[in-house]
């Protein structure tokens, strides 16, 4: 059979498939082909007018968006052999512009690195991405373990970072409408909406402390929302989204918590001014938990790294690690296991305890020394000056 005859047969076969069946019933193929030919864009229905509530939500989001930033934490890691330093991403979250000087507020856990639930290290450098998509360097200048707050100085044009308006959390009512803006799962500047579900909640931090008077909301909060603002219907900051009750999938189940703005307004200015909620000087320094684990295999407690001369720690006889000239361990230092009768698990937890319960004139430490646990008492009172000889 030549090519021309084959073409004719194929055409006849296609015609038979698309031809109506006896009795006028179309075939499936003819129906599909007939309706394909009618395909065209649909005419949209008339747009309804937006409600007053919708218009307010749109307006408040547009106003707040430039004050909300994406925070990327950057950890500097040093190779022990080459001593080369590399930067690696350590986490991400949300933050908001606190004042006209470019200070960004976020959660402490956004800029920290943890291993096994214990603080491994705080990052110093972060990257701040503004709502216009431009990124700038930032530095962590203040942290609070007990309140899970961190303050970042952003090195970006100040006119690109309008401060977010703040309200009061003391006058909030259950049932008020709220909006959360953040970067859940890296989806920047996402808006969710809900109500205040409860007030006065106590929520646990990662350092065995509790944040009081927290705001519970059913606005969707997911990983990445941490550090973002919770706004009232007028667009004022009333809280910082901090934690959720998570299921196995670690997504929102409608139970989220925000640190109240009244607490922020008390703690943040002190962190900007001093960097930490400093307790009275005790005169000793400890190794970060990650270093204590890496160098000494210590999994619980804090290894004393140094003791200041003429300090409460030195007068109490606290012993630091001793190293020889080559940097090798000569004598193990004291390991702090307890503070005022409470177990010390990590550096972050210890710092949080000091913030919540500042030391009095006399404090007692449980110390592991030479394989035995002993009590060491530090007096924070200034010693009386000795009379000057004539």
Note the pLDDT tens digit of each residue in 108-122: 989 887 655 555 567
**Other CB atoms within 10 Å distance of the CB of residue 246:** 15
Q: Which of 31-35, 111-115, 293-297, 326-330 has the largest mean confidence? A: 31-35
Q: Measured between alpha carbons, how far is 390 from 378 in angstroms, rounded to an integer? A: 32
Q: 92: closest CA among 104, 77, 106, 103?
A: 106
CB 200 within 8 A of CB 218: no
pLDDT per residue over 132-166, tens digit each? 999 999 999 999 988 999 999 999 999 999 999 99
Q: Measured between alpha carbons, how far is 35 from 306 in angstroms, rounded to an integer? A: 83
Task: Tell me, yes or no, if 148 is annotated catalytic.
Answer: yes
Please tell me what DSSP assigns to residue 165.
Answer: P
Q: How far is CA 307 from CA 189, 277, 285, 300, 334, in A?
A: 46, 21, 6, 20, 11
Quote the pLDDT of residue 273.
94
What's the whole-number mean pLDDT along residues 15-20?
A: 54
- Whether domain 62-160 has CATH 2.40.128.280: the reply is no
For residues 390 and 277, which has the higher predicted lDDT (pLDDT)? 277
Q: Which two tokens stand for residue 229?
A: 């603002």
Sole residue written with tokens 């006209």: 100
Given a cut of 90, whether residue 6 has pLDDT beyond it is no
Task: Tell me, yes or no, if 189 is annotated catalytic.
Answer: no
CB 333 within 8 A of CB 322: yes
Q: Which two tokens stand for residue 149?
A: 């707050």
Residues of the chain with CATH 2.30.42.10: 284-379
Strand 190-204 to 210-217 pairing:
antiparallel
Q: What is the 3-state secondary structure (H, E, C) of 309-351?
A: CCCHHHHCCCCCCEECCCCCEEECCCEEEEECCEECCCHHHHH
According to DSSP, the residues that pair with 268 across neighbouring strands are none
Q: Which residues contact 36 (CB under 8 A, 6 or more apart)?
A: none
Residues of the chain with CATH 2.40.10.10: 62-160, 177-274
Q: Which two tokens stand for residue 115?
A: 């291993």
Given a cut of 50, whether residue 386 has pLDDT beyond it is no
- If one looks up domain 284-379 in CATH, what number appears? 2.30.42.10
Give the helix ranges, DSSP H, for the chain: 3-18, 28-36, 52-64, 261-274, 289-296, 312-315, 347-356
Q: 357: closest CA among 344, 369, 373, 374?
A: 344
Q: Measured between alpha carbons, how far is 367 from 170 in angstroms, rounded to an integer? A: 42
Task: Tell me, yes or no, if 135 is annotated catalytic.
Answer: no
Quote the pLDDT of residue 390.
44
For residue 19, the Cα-to-chain-centroid distance in whole angstroms is 66
Given a cut of 60, whether residue 169 has pLDDT beyond it is yes
Quote the pLDDT of residue 389.
45
Q: Measured between alpha carbons, how far is 69 from 71 in angstroms, rounded to an integer? A: 6
Q: Measured between alpha carbons, how far is 217 from 199 in angstroms, rounded to an integer? A: 9
CA-angle at 325, arms to 319 and 327, nearest 5°: 70
Given a cut of 60, whether residue 10 has pLDDT beyond it is no
Q: Which residues contact 34 (CB under 8 A, 6 or more apart)?
A: 26
CB 218 within 8 A of CB 255: yes
Q: Which two tokens stand for residue 25?
A: 């019933």
Given a cut of 70, whether residue 174 has pLDDT beyond it is yes
3-class secondary-structure state, position 238: strand
For residues 204 and 167, which has the higher predicted lDDT (pLDDT)? 167
What's the whole-number mean pLDDT along residues 309-326?
A: 89
Quote the pLDDT of residue 21.
55
Q: Which of 204-218, 238-252, 312-326 has the largest mean confidence? A: 312-326
pTM of the predicted structure, to 2 decimals: 0.74
Quote the pLDDT of residue 56.
95
Given a cut of 90, whether residue 78 has pLDDT beyond it is no
Q: Phi first, then psi: what are they for 251, rounded to 5°?
A: -115, 175
Quote the pLDDT of residue 236.
96
Query: Which among 214, 226, 252, 346 is annotated as catalytic?
Result: 226
Query: Which among 122, 148, 232, 334 is annotated as catalytic?
Result: 148
Q: Measured between alpha carbons, how far is 347 from 121 in angstroms, rounded to an integer? A: 10
CB 344 within 8 A of CB 301: yes
- If one looks up domain 177-274 in CATH, what number appears? 2.40.10.10
């Amino acid at each position: 059979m030549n090519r021309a005859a084959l073409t004719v047969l194929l055409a006849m076969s296609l015609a038979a498939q698309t031809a109506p069946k006896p009795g006028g019933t179309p075939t499936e193929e003819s129906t599909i082909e007939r309706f394909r030919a009618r395909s065209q864009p649909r005419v949209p229905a008339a747009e309804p007018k937006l409600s007053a509530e919708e218009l307010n939500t749109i307006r408040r989001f547009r106003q707040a968006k430039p004050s909300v930033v994406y925070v990327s934490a950057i950890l500097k890691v040093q190779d022990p052999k080459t001593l080369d330093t590399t930067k690696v991403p350590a986490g991400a979250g949300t933050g908001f512009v606190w004042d006209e000087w470019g200070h960004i507020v976020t959660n402490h856990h956004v800029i920290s690195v943890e291993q096994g639930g214990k603080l491994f290290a705080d990052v110093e450098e972060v990257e701040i991405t503004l709502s216009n998509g431009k990124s700038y360097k930032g530095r962590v200048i203040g942290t609070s373990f007990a309140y899970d707050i961190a303050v970042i100085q952003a090195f970006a044009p100040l006119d690109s970072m309008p401060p977010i308006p703040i309200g009061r959390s003391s006058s909030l009512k259950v049932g008020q409408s709220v909006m959360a803006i953040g970067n859940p799962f890296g989806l920047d500047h996402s808006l969710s909406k809900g109500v205040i579900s409860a007030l006065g909640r106590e929520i646990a931090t990662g350092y065995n402390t509790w944040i009081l008077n927290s705001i519970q909301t059913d606005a969707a909060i997911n990983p990445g929302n941490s550090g973002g603002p919770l706004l009232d219907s007028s667009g004022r900051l009333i809280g910082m989204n901090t934690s959720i009750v998570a299921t196995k999938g670690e997504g929102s189940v409608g139970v989220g918590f925000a640190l109240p703005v009244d607490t922020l307004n008390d703690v943040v200015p002190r962190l900007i001014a001093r960097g930490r909620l400093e307790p009275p000087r005790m005169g000793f320094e400890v190794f970060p938990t990650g270093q204590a684990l890496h160098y000494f295999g210590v999994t619980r407690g804090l290894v004393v790294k140094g003791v200041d001369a003429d300090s409460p720690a030195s007068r109490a006889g606290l012993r630091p690690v001793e190293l020889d000239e080559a940097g090798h361990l000569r004598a193990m230092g004291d390991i702090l296991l307890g503070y005022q009768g409470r177990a010390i698990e990590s550096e972050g937890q210890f710092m949080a305890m000091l913030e919540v319960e500042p030391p009095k004139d006399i404090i007692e430490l449980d110390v592991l020394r030479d394989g035995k646990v002993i009590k060491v008492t530090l007096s924070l009172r200034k010693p009386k000056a000795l009379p000057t000889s004539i």
